[in-house]
């Protein structure tokens, strides 16, 4: 089988550059194009040079439609609004669409799900093996322990991250909520300030820190009477997310249209 031809959206961003590098280092895939939004300073630059892997004669373009017409899939770590627009274009071409974008509203999620009727979409708040295993563990622990154990989710990211809680924190919260068989939206507490009163049993709390160059630290804490269980993941390099995204693209290549997750890619869907 020929190499899978992938377009990278958000090619000038931290994750976009890392995905380009991951594609260069992975057998079975090839970079078909690199895309940035109109007005980006990197349009016209060599994508390989931009990613630090040497010139590859792929010029960063502002015309994603032309790139998608000659590709097999799209890897997308951009913004929710951009991802929704790209999902529609991926669906129009019947392409694989790997989405690592976070910060979605319910309306964004609905639009992506609608596009997945016509395209194979893999969307995850985190593409790494470790985090998805952590989510599986969080679900199992939450299922095992009762409301005597309070659930708190802590996350820290670099100072440039624009959404909170992180997509990974929400993924972990959703796993814990599923373990407890409750709706995360009805039980999550994302802000505490002032005189909040006592903690309500069954709540799932979130705490977000931002600073420096932290790639991503996440903890799921189960705090019970006189004991505490902590599940922890620390990301040391963005390459773990990029490699996961490329793995997802290869997995999705021959799949039927639908909305999938990294749990499906990693064979964890029965657990998560």
DSSP letter (8 states) at residue 226: T
Whether a cis peptide bond, with omega within 30° of 0, leads into 165 is yes
Percent of the chain that is helix, strand, coil (3-state, to 5)? 35, 25, 40
Q: Which residues are catalytic?
A: 157, 161
- Exposure pattern of 93-104 as b/e (b: 16+ CB <10 Å)? bebbbbbbbbbb
Nearest to 171 by CA among 211, 137, 146: 137
**Sheet harboring 227-235: ordered strands across?**
188-189, 204-210, 150-157, 216-224, 227-235
141 to 146, 175, 180, 262: CA distances (angstroms): 10, 10, 9, 20
Specify whether the CB–CB gap between 264 and 125 falls below 8 A.
Answer: no
């Amino acid at each position: 089988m020929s190499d899978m031809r992938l377009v990278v959206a958000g090619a000038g961003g931290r994750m976009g550059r890392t995905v380009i590098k991951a594609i260069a280092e992975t057998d079975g895939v090839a970079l078909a194009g690199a895309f940035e939004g109109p007005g980006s300073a990197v349009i016209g630059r060599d994508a390989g040079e931009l990613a630090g892997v040497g010139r590859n004669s792929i010029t960063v373009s502002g015309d994603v439609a032309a790139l998608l017409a000659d590709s097999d899939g799209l890897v997308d770590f951009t913004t929710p609004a951009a991802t929704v627009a790209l999902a529609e274009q991926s669906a129009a071409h019947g392409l694989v669409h790997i989405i690592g974008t976070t910060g979605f509203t319910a309306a964004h999620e609905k639009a992506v799900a609608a596009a997945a009727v016509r395209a194979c979409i893999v969307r995850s708040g985190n593409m790494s093996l470790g985090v998805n295993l952590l989510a599986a563990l969080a679900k199992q622990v939450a299922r095992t322990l009762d409301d005597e154990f309070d659930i708190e989710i802590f996350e820290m990211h670099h100072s440039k991250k624009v959404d909170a809680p992180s997509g990974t924190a929400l993924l972990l919260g959703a796993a814990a909520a599923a373990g407890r068989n409750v709706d995360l939206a009805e039980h999550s507490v994302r802000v505490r300030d002032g005189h909040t009163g006592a903690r309500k049993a069954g709540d799932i709390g979130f705490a977000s820190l931002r600073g420096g160059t932290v790639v991503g630290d996440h903890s799921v804490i189960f705090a019970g009477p006189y004991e505490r269980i902590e599940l922890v993941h620390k990301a040391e390099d963005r390459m773990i997310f990029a490699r996961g995204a490329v793995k997802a693209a290869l997995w999705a290549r021959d799949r039927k249209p639908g909305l999938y997750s990294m749990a499906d890619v990693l064979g964890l869907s029965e657990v998560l």
